[in-house]
């Protein structure tokens, strides 16, 4: 008796073995599933797309986290610990560090559990301008990423500097929740992405130091997690290439 492809895939799905991984924002372990071959392919394929590929990679790994881990929301500081845990469970803990040495990711998973007191929101101001900052969820980030990918994809290949500029602007977009000028407040969730870009481009440069400081709480945590002894791990497509551990 023949089995339809959809039925066969359903049976394969039922074979998936779940496991527990630690999520910083909830400070507890939740259930997760291994990365599939298709997901691995989608991640690795972003490596050949240059500037655009960097954004596609982030969108792809965000999708994997949202799809494979049983939790309602993940913040951007959940990304690195979640990815490392999925990598260990799917391909093993051994990987080549930036200096070429082979290291285990297990110390990184242990350090990821030392979670700092992240500030999810912050208000900054300059004269009559007030800006509400937030740490976005991965779902919120992906909405911005998809629009950024569309905009960069429209550029000609030689417009590399403009593409890099867009990436920088979109990094700020996902962090800003609202901007108030005098008594008028603009909620970024109510605006099209292109209108958010226009507003950010007209903000005083002095505000960016405060925004950078807000973002540094996450980058400092990630740097600590990704440092193993004297070696450092880079989060890119090679993380999910099993051959990089040999």
Distances from the Cα of 139 to the Cαs of 21, 36, 135, 143, 180, in angstroms?
Answer: 19, 20, 12, 7, 25
- Name the phi and psi angles at 195, rounded to 5: -75, -30
| Of 118, 109, 120, 114, the residue nearest 81 (C-alpha) | 109
How far is the C-alpha of 190 from the C-alpha of 146, rounded, in Å? 17
Taking only the tens place, the pLDDT of each residue in 176-228 is: 999 999 989 999 988 887 888 889 989 999 998 899 999 999 999 999 999 99
Which residues, 6 or more positions from 197, have their beta carbon under 8 angstroms from its beta carbon? 166, 169, 170, 173
Determine the pLDDT at residue 41: 93
Higher-confidence position of 77 and 161: 77
Tell me the average pLDDT of the chain. 88
Taking only the tens place, the pLDDT of each residue in 138-183 is: 999 998 888 888 877 776 655 666 667 777 888 888 999 999 999 8
52, 152 in Cβ contact below 8 A? yes
132, 123 in Cβ contact below 8 A? yes
How far is the C-alpha of 10 from the C-alpha of 79, rounded, in Å? 28
DSSP string, 172-211: HHTTEEEEEETTEEEEGGGS-HHHHHHHHHTS-TTHHHHH
| Four-residue CA torsion sign, 155, 159, 160, 164 | negative
């Amino acid at each position: 008796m023949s089995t339809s492809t959809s039925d066969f895939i359903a049976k394969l799905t039922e074979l998936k073995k779940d496991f527990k991984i630690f999520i910083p924002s909830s400070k507890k372990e939740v259930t997760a599933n291994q990365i599939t071959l298709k997901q691995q392919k989608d991640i690795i394929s972003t490596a050949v797309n240059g500037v655009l590929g960097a954004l596609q990679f982030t969108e792809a790994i965000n999708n994997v986290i949202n799809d494979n881990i049983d939790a309602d929301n993940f913040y951007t500081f959940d990304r690195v610990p979640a990815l490392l845990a999925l990598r260990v469970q799917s391909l093993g803990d051994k990987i080549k560090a930036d200096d070429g040495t082979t290291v285990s990711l297990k110390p990184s998973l242990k350090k990821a559990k030392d979670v700092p007191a992240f500030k999810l929101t912050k208000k900054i101001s300059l004269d009559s301008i007030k800006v509400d900052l937030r740490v976005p969820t991965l779902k919120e980030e992906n909405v911005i990423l998809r629009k950024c990918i569309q905009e960069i994809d429209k550029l000609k290949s030689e417009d590399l500097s403009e593409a890099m500029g867009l990436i920088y602007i979109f990094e700020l977009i996902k962090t800003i929740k609202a901007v108030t000028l005098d008594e008028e407040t603009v909620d970024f969730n109510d605006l099209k992405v292109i209108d958010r870009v226009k507003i950010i481009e007209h903000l005083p440069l002095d505000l960016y130091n405060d925004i950078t400081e807000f973002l540094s709480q996450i980058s400092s945590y990630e740097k600590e997690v990704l440092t193993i002894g004297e070696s450092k791990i880079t989060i890119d497509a090679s993380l999910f290439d099993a051959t990089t551990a040999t």
